[in-house]
Amino acid sequence: MMGPAWWAVLVLLAMADAVAGRFVVEKNSVQVTSPESLKGKYECAIGNFGLPQYGGTLQGWVVYPKDNRQACKEFDVSFKGHKSGARPNFVLIDRGECFFTTKAWNAQLAGAAAILVVDSKDEPLITMDNPEDTGTKHLENITIPSVLITKKLGEDLKKSAENGDMVSVLLDWRESLPHPDERVEYEFWTNSNDECGPKCDMQMDFVKSFRGTAQVLEQKGYTQFTPHYITWYCPEAFTVSKQCKSQCINHGRYCAPDPEQDFSKGYDGKDVVVQNLHQVCVFKVANDTGKPWLWWDYVHDFAIRCPMKEKKYTHECASHVIKSLGLDMDKINKCVGDPEADEENPILKAEQDAQIGHGKRGDVTILPTLVVNNRQYRGKLDKGAVLKAICSGFEETTEPAICLSEDVQTNECLENHGGCWVDKANNVTACKDTFRGRVCECPIVKGVKFVGDGYTNCEASGVGRCEINNGGCWKETKNGKTISACSHEESEGCKCPQGFKGDGVKSCEGTLSLFRNLLLHDLNTKFGLSPS
């Protein structure tokens, strides 16, 4: 086991360039509508957790609690509006002492509709982020928006509230993202590593829940989506070190940290880079054939079919998924190139260059990161919140209907059964279209339940399975009479009838006389006759 020091070896291109490197604080505005003396519009910074209301506004009263002003403990008062339909309350909270996410959680528990965190110093606005490891247990459950306001505005609002003024504000996210035209361009910076704890789980949950929506938007031409992957590099002096060799491909040019942070076991960083590269190539090849949305299926299916836990995070498993989606494996292999070669990979080189910010977009240094119309999205990667952000990126009146309703269907099963298991002879498939995109789930046909992984196999099970394709067993028809190896006892599977020899699946062999005897026996039984 190596100490953490070796970590420092890998370098993020965006970080190395200290001069150009910059992080952009994404903002919304807060408009004070009363008291008169504070009326006006002020900037605030969107917290990177909870659900911001991109494209929308939220009006409420500002409450400054008497105790627990940093909201590090649970409140013993309620901030719920007294009547239903009453304007909600926003809680003014002092920065410091505990995580921003703890403050938001405590305020939410007490019924607050949003929090305004007051900075403790005079400084330009900062982005309130979630802590890396601890505190994540509430993270996924924070559903109120959070904003940071300047110390000056905070002091003014507090004074007013303590004077007994009714302080009313409008939180406004309508201008948080540019909305120049009728198409939204967005990017998702992600990672194929599925073993990084809550962050990886949340990332995958997002892909699962947003996939169907993303595909419909893309198919109808409303959006142009591009996935991206962060890669690190190994400084030249270290390229032959053990660390860089296990974390990097192409002689130290493209690296990823070891998934378990222990390169003596499990998968190495270089496995992650290779799988990331497969994902970029899947996008590229799918995009070149006019079906960029297949990336969502690939990433979704790969996570389910090729998890690290089951030791299936491999090229072979990736190939199965690629083939099931009907993508050209040769083109993908060509795009992936030779990871051992001492040369640049044009695809990964482009990914590294894209990490550096341009225009109004800052460098990408947090994973995952969503970029909408060249601005970074802040907040939880929640299907509804992200859809709102994308919807707010359309020029007004050009939004697709999905921005007004959530009624969508993907119809992906129409083509190639969505890459799911299919029994063409019997016209049975595991593909099902749902609002969340297609799923591969073994079906129930005429009361017979199929079981299996839904991708490569489904088998009829239970009573009645012999009715479907003879339960996958051998059968033969002679003189209008059928003899079958499908046993009605499911545990027996396929079993040749008595006197016949064979595996029961492909063949059962018996002499003609046996066959005849069996028929005779059947006939006798049928007519109530007994041979003995």
Ligand X SMILES: *[C@@H]1O[C@H](CO)[C@@H](O)[C@H](O)[C@H]1NC(C)=O
Binding mask 167-206 for ligand X (x = CB under 6 A): ----------------------------------------
Q: Which stretch binds ligand X (CB under 6 A): 39-47, 133-141, 243-251, 309-317?
A: 133-141
Stretch that binds ligand X, among 37-45, 136-144, 414-422, 521-529 (CB under 6 A): 136-144
Distance in angstroms (rounded) separating the CA atoms of residues 139 and 131: 9
Q: Which element (helix H / strand E) includes 161?
A: helix 151-162
Q: How far is the CB of 205 from ligand X (least distance, A)?
A: 12
Give the residue from 285, 293, 286, 317 showing the smallest Cα distance to 304: 317
Minimum CB separation of residue 195 from ligand X in Å reads 21
138 contributes a contact to ligand X by CB under 6 A: yes
Tell me, by CB under 6 A, how many residues bind ligand X.
8
Residue 428 beta carbon to ligand X: minimum distance, rounded to whole angstroms: 8
Q: Are 476 and 497 in contact, with CB atoms under 8 Å apart?
A: no
How many Å apart are CA 214 and CA 226, to the nearest integer? 11
Burial of residue 197, with CB atoms counted within 10 A of its CB: 0-12 exposed, 13-18 middle, 19 or more buried? exposed
Binding mask 283-312 for ligand X (x = CB under 6 A): -x--x----x--------------------
What are 180's two structure tokens? 């120049």
- Nearer to ligand X among residue 119 and residue 412 (C-beta): 412
- For the residues of 289-350, what is the DSSP string, one character each? TT-TTHHHHHHHHHHHHS-GGGT--SHHHHHHHHHHTT--HHHHHHHH--TTSSS--HHHHH
| Among the residue ranges 36-44, 134-142, 305-313, 519-527, the one whose residues contact ligand X (CB under 6 A) | 134-142
Q: Any contact of residue 374 with ligand X (CB under 6 A)?
A: no
User: Considering only CA atoms, which of 338, 375, 273 is closest in space to residue 28?
Assistant: 375
In angstroms, give the least distance from the CB of 189 to ligand X. Answer: 14
**For residues 109 and 518, which CB has a smaller minimum distance to ligand X in the complex?**
109
Which of 37, 120, 141, 524 binds ligand X (CB under 6 A)? It is: 141
Q: Residue 220, interface with ligand X (CB under 6 A)?
A: no
Using the minimum distance from each CB to ligand X, give the nearer residue, 292 or 357: 292
Identity of the residue, 142 or 408, whose beta carbon is nearer to ligand X in the bound complex: 142
Q: Of 427, 477, 491, 530, which lies in the binding site for ligand X, with binding defined by CB under 6 A?
A: 427
The first and second tokens of residue 50, run together, are 């909870």
Where does this chain touch ligand X (CB under 6 A) — which range of 135-143, 157-165, 312-320, 385-393?
135-143
Query: What's the closest the beta carbon of residue 138 comes to ligand X, in angstroms?
Result: 5
**Contacts of 343-350 spanning 24+ positions with Cβ under 8 A:** 343/250, 344/250, 344/253, 345/249, 345/250, 345/253, 345/254, 345/277, 347/277, 347/280, 347/281, 347/284, 348/231, 348/250, 348/253, 348/254, 348/273, 348/277, 348/280, 349/253
Rounded to a whole number of angstroms, the minimum distance from the CB of residue 140 to ligand X is: 6
Residue 524 binds ligand X, judged by CB under 6 A: no
Contacts of residue 223, defined as CB under 8 A and 6 or more positions apart, other chains included, come to 183, 184, 185, 186, 214, 217, 390
Tracing tokens 């660390």 back to the chain, one arrives at 243
Tokens standing for residue 103 = 């403050």
**By C-beta, is 227 or 257 nearer to ligand X?**
227
Site string for ligand X, 258-287 (x = CB under 6 A): --------------------------x--x
* Residue 226 binds to ligand X (criterion: CB under 6 A): yes
**Mapping DSSP to helix (H, G, I), strand (E, B) and coil, where does residue 418 land?**
helix
Binding site for ligand X (CB under 6 A): 137-138, 141, 226, 284, 287, 292, 427
